[in-house]
Amino acid sequence: MHHDVLERWSQGNSPLHRRDPRAKVAALLVFLPALATAHRALAFTAGGMLMLLAGAFIWARLPLARALARSALVLPFAIVFALITWAAGDAGRAISLVVKSYLSALAVLLVVSTTPLPVLLRGLELTGTPQFVLLVAQFLYRYLFVIGGEAQQMSRAAAARGASARKLMARSTPFRAAAGALAVLFARSYARAEHIHRAMLARGFQGHFQTLKNLRFRRSDAAFALLASLIPLAVRIAMEKAIPWAR
C-alpha cells in the first residue's frame, strides 16, 4: 500500500521535517489560495510555484521524481473534466484545471511527506480542529493496514474457493458472495474495535486521551511560516507584474 512510502518520507531528517506542523499548515493555507485564485500569467505563476515546490522537495532530501509521479494521482479526475471543458470550448480553463489541481496536490504532498501524520494531526489539534475528529482520523490511519490486510485475505480466500463452490450454491451469486464477505469484514472490524476498547480499559482508560509531548512553536517556525507564505505570493506578484503581455 502506498501510504507506506509516504510514512518513510515523513520520517526523514531535514530542516523542513523539523519545522512545527502548524508552520507548514499555515504556509500551505496561503499557498493554496494564492494558486487557486491565480488567473493572469498562469503559466508563469505555475512554473514559478512548481520550481518552489521542487526546490522544497530537494531541500527536504526527498525523491523529486517520485513525488512528481505521486501527485499525478489527482490527474485522472482533472483530465476528465479538462476534456469536458475543452469540448465546451474553453481550452484555457481546461489547462488551468489540470495545472492547479496538480500543483495543489504536490503542495499537500510536500507537507505530508515532511510531517508524520500523527504529528500533523497533533498540530491541527492545537489550531482548534475538533480533537474527536482527529482522534478518529488517527485510529483510522492506524488500522488501515490491519483491516486492509484482512480484506485482502478475504478476497484471496474467495478467489481460491473459486467458481466450483459457487456452482454448488446456486443461489449465491458473485454479487451476494461479495456482500457476504463485506458483512463479515464489517463484523470483524466491529469486534476489533471492541477489543481495542477492552485493551484501553485494561490500561486504565477513563474516557479521555492524555496526549504526549507538546509541540513547541519556535521563533524559527514563525520565520519559516512567514517566508514560506510570502515567497509564493511574491512569485505570483512578480509574474503577474513582470509579464504584462501574458493573459
Partner 1 sequence: MGALVEVRGLRFRYEDGTTALNGVDFQLGAGEAVALLGPNGSGKTTFVLHLNGLLTGEGTVRVCGLPVNPQTIPQLRRKVGIVFQDSDSQLFMPTVLEDVAFGLLNLGMDQPTALSRARAALETVGMDRTASRAPYHLSAGEKKRVAIAGIVAMEPEILVLDEPTANLDPPGQRSLTELISHLPQAKIVVTHDIAFAQALCHRAVFFQNGVITAEGTVTEVVSRLDWDLTAERSKFRP
Partner 2 sequence: MHIPDGFLSAPVWITLDAAAVPTVGYLARRAQRGFEQTQAPLLGVMGAFVFAAQMINFPVGAGTTGHLLGGALLAMTLGPVSASIVMTAILAIQALVFQDGGVLALGANIVNMALVGVLAGYLPFSLWGATRWRRFALFAGGALSVLVSAVLALSELLISGVPMSGRMVGISVGVFLISAVLEGAITLAVLESLERIQPMLVRRPAGRPSRVLGALAVAAVLLASVGVLFASEAPDAIQRLTHQTITEASGWPVKSLTGLAGIALIYGACLLLARVAARNRSV
Residues lying near partner 1 in the complex (CB under 8 A) are found at 7, 11, 116-118, 138-139, 141-143, 145-146, 192, 195-196, 198-206, 210, 212-214
Residue 3 CA, chain-centre distance (Å), reads: 9
Which helix (DSSP H) or strand (DSSP E) does residue 136 occupy?
A: helix 131-168
d(CA 75, CA 91): 17
Give the E-state strand segments of 103-177 in sequence order. none
Q: Quote the DSSP letter at residue 212.
A: P
Q: Are 85 and 97 in contact (CB under 8 A)?
A: yes
Provide, rounded to whole angstroms, the least separation between the CB of residue 110 and partner 1: 21
Calculate Rg over the CA atoms of the chain.
23
Q: Is 203 exposed, middle or buried (0-12, 13-18, 19+ CB in 10 A)?
A: exposed
**CA 109 to CA 113: how far, in whole Å?**
6
Residue from 137, 226, 234, 238 binding partner 2 (CB under 8 A): 137
Out of 14, 50, 68, 192, the only residue in the binding site for partner 2 (CB under 8 A) is 192
| Using rule CB under 8 A, residue 143 touches partner 2 | yes
Q: Which of 49, 52, 56, 109 binds partner 2 (CB under 8 A)?
A: 109
Which 31-90 residues touch partner 2, going by CB under 8 A? 32-40, 70-71, 73-74, 77-78, 81, 84-85, 87-90
Which of residues 87 and 220 has its CB atom nearest to partner 2 in the complex? 87
97 lies in the binding site for partner 2 (CB under 8 A):
yes
Nearest distance in Å: CB 5, partner 1: 13
Interface segment toward partner 2; rule CB under 8 A; list 13-21, 143-151, 162-170, 211-219 = 143-151
CA 61 to chain centre: 19
Binding mask 197-216 for partner 2 (x = CB under 8 A): x--x----x-xxx-------
